[in-house]
């Protein structure tokens, strides 16, 4: 048996106590496409980062070309012939194609005169090798996404890469572009490269991978040859997990429809013909893969990217949600995914954050009533059990879970009837997580309607009354709590229903 | 709260030390006449710096105020010569300043040109436009009641001191208790989060430009009234003095942070340091270099302590 190009042996990694990978082993041979699949958060990106040296493992070893590499770093990994192509290209947009290639490939002799003609010639050769019809003098910012991807591949090939890692390379490609990419992958494979292919699209995995490794919750559950491996096998392997968390969800009799979307589209956000109804007293889960348009749909419902077609009805009346201010005035509030960047103002104290979306409730004629503001803040701090040394602390000084609670408090202080929660427990410790879940339950009992976006299937399944699954900017299907399983959700999200 | 009012305390201490030094070495500095001159010369800086603080808090900047100051001064003089009553002159001058601010604000907020570029352009346009219209000609032969705005040379400083104190108090209070100010701080701290909280960040920035413009007009009028003619080249370098005092007072150039009290202290310190150097027999050529060094030190201190604090909060968070 030939020696593997790359071998990861018993890799474990935890981020501040949260396990990302446990005892994962993986190998790649020359002339092979080896796919890695798994749900969001299964540990795929961490594994790649360890192979490229961006992240150091807590334990385990990397073996490249038969040599053990005790301490991998990005430069070393590149010099060992490992190249990675991420979803977002890492190119210099204001430089030309040839210059971008030169940056990656030419030496670091800083004061050497640039040989422009040689640089262009080399670029042209490389581009030709990967079948990219690009002029070397074009500015990278004028390239389309697939063209940038080809340039990335040319960079890798030119750098004599032996291992090429591709992370969701087809996420933004059309079908024809995917075909072209696959032909290139096939050619590189037959040239003797080893390719690691990461994708959510199982049909692609089945089409081009020789072997498939399935990660689940940071563990490698199987490495199988493609032959005899069906899609349902893969889905089973990806999800086969007991619901380990206990969710405080109780059935609430749903009330009237609070918010209804009819055929809503928003070209700027990539939302197409979305129709859903959200009832009072209901938690509607919004599931889907990364990039399926969940956050974008929330943005449209909140007026960040207003709908350009279709109707939005609030309590049966047609409304135009043109800005977040309008949404808040209508009683729709949104707690965004990236709370540090969007949910809270880090430098401001807790009361100022809590009342930011509801200043009209604690002020008269434009004058803030500081006592009322403090009272509001301390009421929510108590109700949500925000742990802070002092109310006047900047939110920056709080832990992630407590920052999230402040973001929630800000939304609740505006007295919404519809609450959109985007990944409400992402990066939140277990204790705060169940507190947030309990809070959601008590809110729907009080008649609020909650739309919860979550990438965590157990959370979606455990907390939702109904689950809408998105794919490609639209609703692929809606499942009741009874009919939803990890398998049925994932099948809808992947498009194999 | 960690390090609250640290900058204000530091600048106040600097002023105290400077004062002490002058009491010992150059008691002549503290004559009424000298202090009166110093106050009147720095009054425009103080008034404009109030508005500049708010604007920088929203994360924007305006470097055209020196030119706007000159334009407003000439306009005030011309209007007064035409026989308009003082009340009208006051309103028109402040209104003209506000209109100029509106243009800057609109280009920044709605056309989305970075404010440094917008106001660099309007700085040049206003300055050169004024030069072209006036042909460098000063406004002479002002009506008798224009100088000292109808007050006497003795009472005028008292009146404008009262105006300045009232403005200072109003702005300091408003920056803490007005919704309009709160949204400025939120906008400057984190525009995305502010927008998601339903704040119209563009309107917020626009209004900060307008307030600064109106204050610039007011300052131009109060300054013009000190002389019996109005120069067409007033306010050269004024923007630098104003921004420097604001930065020295602790307002973060990246927005979201800053107090009116800090700015006022910054104006006092920077206004006093130049003449103090003269009294201390340091060559006048060093004045601006020393001012520059002080500002650099202040901003660097900000950057360093900011970094240290961020690091500390990270440590705290990890422990929590």
Residue in A closest to B313 by C-alpha: A397
In angstroms, the Cα distances linking A402 to A410, A485, B62, B68, B155 are 12, 31, 38, 47, 57
In angstroms, the Cα distances linking A59 to A12, A49, A221, A462, B172 are 5, 14, 19, 33, 57
Pairwise pLDDT comparison (B234 vs B141), residue with the higher score: B234
* Residue B220 contacts residue B72 (beta carbons within 8 Å): yes
Mutation for testing the A interface, residue in B3, B175, B192, B198 having most A CBs under 10 Å: B198
Alpha-carbon distance of B89 to B149, in angstroms, equals 10
Mutation for testing the A interface, residue in B196, B203, B313 having most A CBs under 10 Å: B196
Whether B320 sits inside 8 A of A399 (CB atoms) is yes
B302 touches chain A (CB under 8 A): no
Residue carrying structure tokens 């990806």: A238
Other residues' Cβ atoms within 10 Å of the Cβ of residue B281: 8
**pLDDT of B312:** 47
Mutation for testing the B interface, residue in A306, A348, A386, A411 having most B CBs under 10 Å: A348
Whether A368 sits inside 8 A of B183 (CB atoms) is no
Q: Which pLDDT tens digit goes with each residue over B76-117?
A: 999 999 988 999 999 999 999 999 999 999 999 999 999 999
**β-strand pairing of A283-288 with A309-314:** unpaired
Alpha-carbon distance of A471 to A493, in angstroms, equals 6
**pLDDT of A118:** 84
**pLDDT of B139:** 87
In chain B, residues with a C-beta closer than 8 Å to the C-beta of A334 are 196
Rounded to a whole number of angstroms, the distance from the CA of A10 to the nearest CA of chain B is 28
Q: Which two tokens stand for residue B234?
A: 């007033």
Closest to B209 in 3D by CA, of B54, B72, B96, B93: B54
A410 touches chain B (CB under 8 A): yes
B320 touches chain A (CB under 8 A): yes
Kindly list the structural domains of chain A, giving each domain's residue range(s) and its CATH number in brackets, ordered by start. 6-239 (3.40.50.300), 244-331+417-497 (3.40.50.300), 340-415 (no CATH)
Residue A319 CB contacts under 8 Å (≥ 6 apart), including other chains: A312, A313, A330
Q: Which two tokens stand for residue A153?
A: 């591949």
**pLDDT of A174:** 73
In chain A, residues with a C-beta closer than 8 Å to the C-beta of B190 are 341-342, 344-347
* Residue A348 contacts residue B185 (beta carbons within 8 Å): yes
Of these ranges, B9-18, B162-171, B190-199, the one predicted with the greatest mean pLDDT is B162-171
Nearest to B318 among A16, A304, A357 (CB): A16
Whether A348 sits inside 8 A of B185 (CB atoms) is yes
In angstroms, the Cα distances linking A191 to A157, A257, A458 are 11, 59, 43
Nearest to A345 among B177, B186, B317 (CB): B186
Cβ contacts from A onto B, under 8 A: 92
Rounded to a whole number of angstroms, the distance from the CA of B198 to the nearest CA of chain A is 4
Alpha-carbon distance of A143 to A151, in angstroms, equals 9
* Residue A425 contacts residue A459 (beta carbons within 8 Å): yes
Radius of gyration over every alpha carbon of chain B, rounded to an integer in angstroms: 20
* Residue B224 contacts residue B235 (beta carbons within 8 Å): no
Helix and strand numbers, DSSP H then E, in chain A: 16, 22
Q: Which residues in chain B (224-283) have CB-CB distances under 8 A to chain A?
A: 256-257
Say whether pLDDT at B310 is over 60: no
Rounded to a whole number of angstroms, the distance from the CA of B82 to the nearest CA of chain A is 39
Rounded to a whole number of angstroms, the distance from the CA of B111 to the nearest CA of chain A is 18
* Residue B9 contacts residue B188 (beta carbons within 8 Å): no
Mutation for testing the A interface, residue in B1, B3, B4, B193 having most A CBs under 10 Å: B193
Rounded to the nearest 5°, which phi and psi values hold at B139? Answer: -90, 115
B219 touches chain A (CB under 8 A): no
Residue-by-residue pLDDT tens, chain A, 497 positions? 678 999 999 999 987 666 789 999 999 999 999 999 987 667 888 899 999 998 899 999 999 988 898 888 888 898 899 999 887 778 898 899 998 888 877 765 666 677 788 888 888 988 888 888 888 899 998 888 788 888 998 988 888 889 999 988 887 677 788 888 899 999 999 999 999 999 877 888 888 999 999 998 889 998 999 888 887 788 888 876 544 456 777 877 888 999 999 999 999 889 999 999 999 999 999 998 877 899 999 999 999 999 999 999 999 999 999 999 999 999 999 999 877 778 899 889 999 999 999 998 888 888 999 999 999 999 999 988 888 888 888 888 887 778 889 999 999 999 999 999 998 887 676 667 778 898 999 999 999 999 999 888 888 998 999 999 999 899 999 999 988 988 899 889 888 65
Say whether pLDDT at B320 is over 50: no
Alpha-carbon distance of A316 to A333, in angstroms, equals 18
Say whether pLDDT at B299 is over 90: no
* Residue A157 contacts residue A130 (beta carbons within 8 Å): yes
* Residue A460 contacts residue A287 (beta carbons within 8 Å): yes
Q: Which pLDDT tens digit goes with each residue over B147-160?
A: 888 888 889 999 99
In chain A, residues with a C-beta closer than 8 Å to the C-beta of B189 are 345-348
**pLDDT tier at B1, thresholds 50, 70, 90:** very low
Mutation for testing the B interface, residue in A299, A355, A359 having most B CBs under 10 Å: A359
Say whether pLDDT at B135 is over 50: yes
A363 touches chain B (CB under 8 A): yes
B190 touches chain A (CB under 8 A): yes
Q: Which pLDDT tens digit goes with each residue over B224-279?
A: 988 888 998 899 989 999 999 999 999 988 889 899 999 999 999 999 888 888 88
Closest to B78 in 3D by CA, of B292, B286, B221, B282: B221
Residue carrying structure tokens 């430009």: B209
* Residue B74 contacts residue B130 (beta carbons within 8 Å): yes
B208 touches chain A (CB under 8 A): no
A387 touches chain B (CB under 8 A): yes
B319 touches chain A (CB under 8 A): no
**pLDDT of B319:** 36
**pLDDT of A430:** 66
Q: Is B180 left (phi over 0), alpha (psi -120 to 50) or beta?
A: alpha
A357 touches chain B (CB under 8 A): yes
Pairwise pLDDT comparison (A120 vs B118), residue with the higher score: B118
Mutation for testing the A interface, residue in B197, B252, B307, B314 having most A CBs under 10 Å: B197
Nearest to A357 among B185, B189, B198 (CB): B198
In chain B, residues with a C-beta closer than 8 Å to the C-beta of A348 are 185-186, 189
Q: Which two tokens stand for residue B48?
A: 């404009």
**pLDDT of B307:** 53
Whether B195 sits inside 8 A of A387 (CB atoms) is no
Rounded to the nearest 5°, which phi and psi values hold at A199? Answer: -155, 150
Rounded to a whole number of angstroms, the distance from the CA of A27 to the nearest CA of chain B is 35
B316 touches chain A (CB under 8 A): yes
Whether A397 sits inside 8 A of B317 (CB atoms) is yes
**β-strand pairing of A474-480 with A317-319:** unpaired
């Amino acid at each position: 048996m030939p020696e593997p190009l790359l071998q990861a042996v018993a890799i474990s990694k935890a981020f501040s106590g949260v396990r990302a990978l446990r005892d994962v082993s993986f190998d790649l041979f020359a002339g092979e496409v080896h796919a890695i699949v798994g749900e969001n958060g299964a540990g795929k990106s961490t594994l790649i980062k360890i192979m490229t040296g961006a992240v150091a493992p807590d334990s385990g070893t990397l073996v490249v070309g038969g040599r053990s590499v005790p301490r991998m770093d990005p430069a070393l990994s590149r010099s060992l012939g490992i190249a990675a192509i991420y979803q977002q290209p890492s190119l210099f947009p204001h430089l030309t194609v040839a210059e971008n290639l030169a940056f990656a490939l030419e030496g670091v002799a800083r004061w050497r005169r640039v040989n422009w003609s040689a640089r262009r010639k080399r670029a042209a050769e490389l581009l030709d090798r990967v079948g990219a019809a690009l002029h070397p003098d074009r500015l990278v910012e004028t390239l389309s996404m697939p063209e940038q991807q080809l340039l990335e591949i040319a960079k890798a090939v030119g750098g004599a890469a032996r291992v090429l890692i591709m992370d969701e390379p087809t996420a933004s490609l059309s079908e024809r572009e995917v075909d072209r990419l696959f032909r290139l992958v096939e050619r590189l494979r037959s040239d003797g490269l080893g390719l690691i292919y990461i994708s959510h699209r199982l049909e692609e995995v089945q089409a081009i991978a020789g072997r498939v490794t399935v990660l689940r919750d940071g563990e490698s559950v199987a490495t199988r040859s493609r032959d005899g491996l069906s899609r349902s096998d893969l889905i089973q392997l990806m999800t086969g997990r007991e619901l380990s968390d206990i969710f405080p969800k109780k059935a609430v009799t749903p009330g009237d429809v609070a918010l209804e979307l009819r055929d809503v589209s928003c070209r700027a956000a990539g939302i197409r013909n979305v129709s859903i109804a959200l009832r009072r007293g209901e938690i509607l889960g919004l599931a889907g893969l990364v990039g399926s348009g969940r956050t974008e749909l929330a943005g449209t419902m909140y007026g960040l990217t207003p709908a350009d077609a279709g109707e939005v009805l609030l309590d049966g009346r047609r409304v135009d949600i043109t800005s977040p201010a309008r949404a808040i005035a209508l009683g729709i509030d949104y707690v965004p995914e990236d709370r540090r960047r969007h949910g809270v103002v880090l430098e401001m104290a807790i009361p100022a954050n809590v009342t930011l979306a509801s200043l009209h409730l604690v002020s008269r004629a434009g004058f803030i009533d500081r006592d009322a503001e403090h009272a509001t803040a301390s009421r929510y701090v108590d109700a949500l059990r925000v742990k802070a040394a002092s109310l006047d602390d900047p939110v920056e000084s709080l832990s992630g879970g407590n920052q999230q609670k402040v973001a929630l408090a800000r939304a609740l202080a505006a007295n919404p009837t519809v609450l959109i929660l985007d990944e409400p427990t992402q990066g939140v410790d277990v204790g705060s997580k169940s507190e947030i879940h309990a809070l959601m339950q008590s809110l729907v009992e009080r008649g609020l309607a909650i739309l919860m976006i979550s990438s965590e299937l157990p959370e979606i399944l455990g907390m939702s009354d109904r689950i809408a699954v998105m794919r490609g900017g639209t609703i692929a299907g809606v499942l009741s709590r009874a009919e939803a399983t990890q398998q049925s959700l994932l099948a809808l999200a992947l498009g194999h229903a | 709260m960690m390090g609250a009012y640290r900058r204000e305390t530091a600048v106040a201490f600097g002023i105290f030390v400077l004062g002490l030094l002058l009491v010992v070495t150059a008691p002549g500095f503290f004559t009424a006449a000298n202090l009166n001159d110093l106050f009147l010369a720095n009054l425009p800086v103080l008034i404009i710096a109030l508005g500049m603080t708010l604007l920088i808090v929203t994360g924007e900047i305006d470097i055209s105020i020196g030119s706007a100051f000159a334009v407003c001064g000439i306009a005030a003089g011309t209007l007064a010569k035409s026989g308009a009553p003082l009340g009208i002159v006051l309103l028109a001058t402040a209104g003209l300043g506000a209109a100029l601010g509106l243009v800057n604000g609109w280009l920044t907020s709605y056309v989305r040109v970075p404010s440094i570029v917008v106001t660099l352009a309007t700085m040049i346009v206003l300055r050169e436009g004024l030069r072209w219209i006036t042909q460098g000609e000063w406004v002479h032969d002002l009506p008798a009641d224009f100088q000292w705005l109808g007050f006497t040379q003795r009472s005028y400083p008292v009146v404008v001191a009262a105006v300045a104190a009232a403005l200072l108090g109003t702005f300091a209070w408003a920056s803490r208790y007005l919704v309009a100010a709160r949204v400025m701080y939120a906008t400057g701290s984190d525009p995305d989060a502010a927008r998601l909280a339903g704040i119209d960040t563009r309107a917020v920035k626009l209004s900060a430009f307008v307030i600064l413009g109106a204050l610039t007009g007011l300052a131009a009028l109060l300054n013009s009234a000190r002389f019996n003619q109005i120069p067409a080249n007033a306010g050269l370098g004024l923007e630098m003095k104003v921004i420097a005092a604001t930065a020295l007072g602790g307002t973060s150039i990246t927005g979201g942070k800053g107090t009116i009290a800090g700015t006022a202290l910054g104006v006092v310190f920077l206004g006093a340091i130049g003449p103090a150097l003269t009294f201390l027999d340091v060559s006048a050529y060093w004045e601006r270099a020393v001012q520059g060094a002080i500002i650099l030190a202040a901003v660097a201190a900000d950057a360093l302590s900011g970094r240290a604090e961020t690091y500390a909060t990270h440590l705290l968070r990890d422990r929590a």
